């Protein structure tokens, strides 16, 4: 199937709910007036006190200070089977796996914003968070509607260029899902767990959460 047909097919689930989509757009617009948002934060690091989790903690503190409702999913401490491309879900139905992804499913469809907090592993996002993202496939038709998205990224190298593959992946993914980037905190130069605490980035994450 070529990409255009693929996109059409995936959006077909959403088009069946055109009225829902219009309502969602109206709702998203009213959020600009300061309404409480439902936010799903998905983290990808196995280091509980690590750098990306520190950014996630601070983002959540800011978002909760602004009155938003946050659900958090720590991929590295959950069981999420990788997608096996069986297509039983038809991109908008029941996944054959009944595991911790149920939490994501229950929180992402109605979420106004989705936050990805990940370390860089070999120039990509961590395998733990990627497994969760690939399982979006089973709810593709329900989540392809306007939402905000945020990227929180940590890595050891000091060059901004190293972040480009992950930023490009994130931008492509949210464009495909009809989501809009609401901000990124990209923290280079942090290697050891918690070293990000000595930088300006946790405060940036807090401010982003508060002003989402
Ligand atoms: C498997 C693995 C691969 C990594 N790959 C990269 C990399 O490609 N570039 C980089 O700058 N840092 C790399 N790092 C370092 C981490 O990105 C860095 O320590 C980051 O701050 C970890 O975030 P965390 O504390 O949230 O897990 C890697 C670390 C691990 C464990």
Confidence of residue 92 (pLDDT cuts 50, 70, 90): confident
Instruction: Report how far apart the first and last C-alpha atoms of the chain are (Å, whole number).
Output: 37
Phi-psi region at 73: left, alpha or beta (left = phi > 0; alpha = psi -120 to 50) = beta
Instruction: Give the C-alpha distances (Å, rounded to integers) separating 172 from 12, 76, 125, 135, 169.
Output: 19, 24, 14, 17, 5
Is there a contact between 56 and 202 (Cβ–Cβ < 8 Å)?
A: no
Tens of pLDDT, residue by residue over 121-166, are 999 999 999 999 999 999 999 999 999 999 999 999 999 999 999 9
Phi-psi region at 50: left, alpha or beta (left = phi > 0; alpha = psi -120 to 50) = beta
pLDDT above 90 covers a percentage of the chain that reads 82
Confidence of residue 5 (pLDDT cuts 50, 70, 90): low
- Give me the mean pLDDT over the 192-208 stretch: 98
pLDDT at residue 94 greater than cutoff 50: yes
193 lines ligand 1 (CB under 6 A): yes
Question: What is the predicted pLDDT for the residue at 1?
Answer: 46
Closest CA to 191 of 181, 199, 183, 200: 199
pLDDT at residue 177 greater than cutoff 90: yes
Question: What is the predicted pLDDT for the residue at 35?
Answer: 81
Question: What is the predicted pLDDT for the residue at 130?
Answer: 98
Query: d(Cα 137, Cα 171) in Å, to the nearest integer?
Result: 17
- Give me the mean pLDDT over the 56-68 stretch: 98
Q: Name the residue of 49, 123, 156 whose CB sits within 8 Å of the most ligand 1 atoms, as the mutation to test its pocket.
A: 156
* pTM of the complete model beyond 0.85: yes
Domains and CATH numbers, the chain: 3-210 (3.40.50.360)
pLDDT above 70 covers a percentage of the chain that reads 84
Locate 84 and state its tokens: 């096996």
**What is the distance in A from the centroid of ligand 1 to the CA of 156?**
6
3-state secondary structure of 78: coil
Locate 184 and state its tokens: 């990124």
**What is the distance in A from the centroid of ligand 1 to the CA of 110?**
32
- Give me the mean pLDDT over the 48-71 stretch: 98
Tens of pLDDT, residue by residue over 10-46, are 444 333 333 333 333 334 434 455 689 999 999 999 9
């Amino acid at each position: 199937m070529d990409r255009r047909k693929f996109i059409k097919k995936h959006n077909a689930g959403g088009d069946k709910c055109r009225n829902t989509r219009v309502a969602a757009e109206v709702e998203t617009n009213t959020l600009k007036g300061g309404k409480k948002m439902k936010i799903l934060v998905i983290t990808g690091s196995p280091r509980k006190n690590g750098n990306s989790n520190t950014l996630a903690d601070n983002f959540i503190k800011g978002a909760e200070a602004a009155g938003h409702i946050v659900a958090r999913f720590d991929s590295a401490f959950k069981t999420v089977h990788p997608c096996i491309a069986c297509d039983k879900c038809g991109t908008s139905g029941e996944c054959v796996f009944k595991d911790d992804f149920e939490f994501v499913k229950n929180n992402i469809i109605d979420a106004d914003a989705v936050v990805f907090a990940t370390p860089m592993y070999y120039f990509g996002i961590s395998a733990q968070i990627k497994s969760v993202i690939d399982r979006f496939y089973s709810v593709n038709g329900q989540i392809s509607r306007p939402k905000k998205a945020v990227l929180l990224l940590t890595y050891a190298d000091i060059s901004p260029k190293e972040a480009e593959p992950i930023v490009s992946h994130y931008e492509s993914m949210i464009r495909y899902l009809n989501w809009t980037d609401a901000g990124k905190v990209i923290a280079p130069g942090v290697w050891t767990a918690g070293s990000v605490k000595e930088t300006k980035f946790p405060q940036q994450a807090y401010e982003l959460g508060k002003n989402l």
